[in-house]
Amino acid sequence: MASVIGVPAKSSGVGGSNVLRVGKVFRAVVLGAVGLFFIVPVISSARFSFTGSSAGFSFSAYSKLLSDPQFWSTLFLSVKIGVGTVTLSLAILIPTTVWVHWKAPKIRRVMEALSLLPLVIPSVVITLGVITSFGSLPNIIMGTPVILALEYVVLALPYTYRTLDSGVQALDIKTLVEAGQSLGAPFRKILWWVLLPNLKSGVLGVVVLAFAFCLGEFAVASLLSFTTFAVYLVQIGQTQASEAIAFSLIALLFTWIPLSIVTVVFSRRAGKKSRRGGGVLMSSQSVTELVELSE
């Protein structure tokens, strides 16, 4: 597919060139301008975090940040929420995706569509709904970050479900399960000893995506008045710009690095199957929906 268009049609005589071929100048201009747009904010942030608005190079923004106890406590809170979200997501999604592929492959499409529902309803609206419908729940749920973890499982679903689903898709579930059954193993054991080890990369994907989501999520956390990592970042930003920018540079790197790892891991796997450059594309798409990562 990919190679088709890139290669100029040498065979065609009259027309001379492939109609799809794009001029070198065009390509350089487009990619150069767009590339600049993406790199300049990173450079600006780096500069701002080292100098502030005044001249002179210093690490003070970073050292202030790292010695700020609230930086660590909010980070810790977000990590706790992340661990809860990841655990709950895996506990729900692994049995579900395995079951769908094993027993009910016909409803795969329906399930996928359901998993995308959270993208359709804006997270601000979901938060409003959570307040109106669960407002009267006991404090142990609504008054603690537990509610955040419970909601994040849903909000991260568009990314986590598909990742795991494509992991399960790569296995021959039926054969594995039936082989296990014919040896007399109960479903629980099959899941734990046979399927889970085979699902490693899918599980890794879910862990990274769900965790990154939890670290970056702002809307729900701030509207339910929990001071998570992202919420604290905004609070700092009100008064100390250079610290907030140092903070967000760190946050960006912390999202980009794991995402790149997931992209590479998945493209290797997809690459094995299709042995094409499309692998990277496939995997980037599976993380594409993370756009609303922090919305």
Partner 1 sequence: MTVSSLGEDRESEGGFGGNNTSEPIKGSATRSVVRFLKYGNWRRFMGVLPFIVYLGIFLLIPAISVVVDAFKGDNGNFTLSNFSIGFSGVYFESFKNSIQLSLFSAVISTVVGLLVALAIVASPGRTLRAVVTAGSGVFANTGGVPLAFSFVATLGNFGLVTELLTKIGYNPYNHGFSLYSVLGLTIVYEYFLIPLMVLIMIPPIDALRKEWVDAAASLGATRIQFWRYIGGPLLAPPLLAGFLVLFTDSFAAYATAAALTSGTIPIVPIQIGSLISGNVLVGHAHLGNALGAGMIGVVIIAAIMYGFVQRRASRWLR
Q: Please report, as residue ranges, which positions from 126 to 145 form the binding site for partner 1 (by CB under 8 A).
A: 126-134
- Helix-then-strand count for the chain, H and E: 17, 0
Exactly one of 80, 99, 176, 265 binds partner 1 (CB under 8 A); which one?
Answer: 99
Interaction with partner 1 in 21-40: which residues (CB under 8 A)?
21-22, 26-27, 30-31, 34, 37-38, 40
- Taking the least distance from each CB to partner 1, the nearer of 66 and 124 is 124
Exactly one of 55, 120, 136, 175 binds partner 1 (CB under 8 A); which one?
Answer: 120
Closest CB 142 distance from partner 1, rounded Å: 12
For residues 282 and 266, is the Cβ–Cβ distance under 8 A?
yes
Structure tokens at 21: 């071929």
Interaction with partner 1 in 222-241: which residues (CB under 8 A)?
222-223, 225, 230, 233-234, 237-238, 241
Q: Rule CB under 8 A: say whether 146 interacts with partner 1.
A: no
Exactly one of 192, 200, 256, 272 binds partner 1 (CB under 8 A); which one?
Answer: 256
Q: How many residues bind partner 1 (CB under 8 A)?
A: 118
Cα separation, 245 vs 52, whole angstroms: 9
Cα separation, 279 vs 282, whole angstroms: 5
Q: Rule CB under 8 A: say whether 50 interacts with partner 1.
A: no
What is the chain's alpha carbon radius of gyration, rounded to the nearest angstrom? 23
For residues 270 and 167, is the Cβ–Cβ distance under 8 A?
no
Build a one-symbol-per-residue string for 274-293: x at contacts with partner 1 by CB under 8 A, - elsewhere.
---xx-xxxxxxxxxxxxxx
95: which DSSP letter?
Answer: H
Cα separation, 50 vs 245, whole angstroms: 10
Closest CB 252 distance from partner 1, rounded Å: 5
- Taking the least distance from each CB to partner 1, the nearer of 83 and 251 is 251
Part of the chain binding partner 1 (CB under 8 A), chosen from 63-71, 77-85, 95-103, 172-180: 95-103
Cα separation, 244 vs 84, whole angstroms: 27
- Taking the least distance from each CB to partner 1, the nearer of 73 and 260 is 260
Structure tokens at 274: 């299709």
CA atoms within 13 A on the CB side of 229: 23
Exactly one of 83, 116, 171, 196 binds partner 1 (CB under 8 A); which one?
Answer: 116
Give the C-alpha distances (Å, rounded to integers) separating 3 from 25, 188, 221, 283: 21, 45, 46, 19
Part of the chain binding partner 1 (CB under 8 A), chosen from 79-87, 172-180, 188-196, 220-228: 220-228
- Taking the least distance from each CB to partner 1, the nearer of 132 and 175 is 132
Cα separation, 71 vs 232, whole angstroms: 8
Cα separation, 202 vs 158, whole angstroms: 14
Closest CB 120 distance from partner 1, rounded Å: 6
Part of the chain binding partner 1 (CB under 8 A), chosen from 59-67, 78-86, 108-116, 138-146: 108-116
